Amino acid sequence: MPQKDPCQKQACEIQKCLQANNYQETRCEAAFQEMRRCCARYPKGTSVCCSGFEREDREREKHKTASKGFHAAQQ
C-alpha cells in the first residue's frame, strides 16, 4: 500500500477553502501558508502535493535572480 502524502491534509484544506470562497485565493491565504510550512518540513520530492509549490518557489527564485542582475546592470 502506498504511503500517504505528508501534506495531503493541507492540500485538501486549500481545496475546501477555495470552493467555499468562490475560488478567491486571497481568502485562503492561511491555508496556503499552512501548505508552504508543510512542504518546507519535507525534502523536495517527498510530497506530490507540494510539487506546485516547489515549482512556484523555483520561479520566484528565478525572478529574484534576474531582477538582481537587472538592477546591478543599471548601476
What structural domains and CATH numbers belong to the chain? 8-74 (1.10.287.1130)
User: What pLDDT, on a 0 to 100 scale, did the predictor assign at position 23?
Assistant: 97
Is the pTM for the entire model greater than 0.85?
no
* pLDDT tens for the chain, residues 1 to 75: 556 899 999 999 999 999 999 999 999 999 999 999 999 999 888 899 998 887 776 676 776 676 665 555 555
Q: With contact defined as beta carbons under 8 Å apart, do 31 and 17 qualify? A: yes
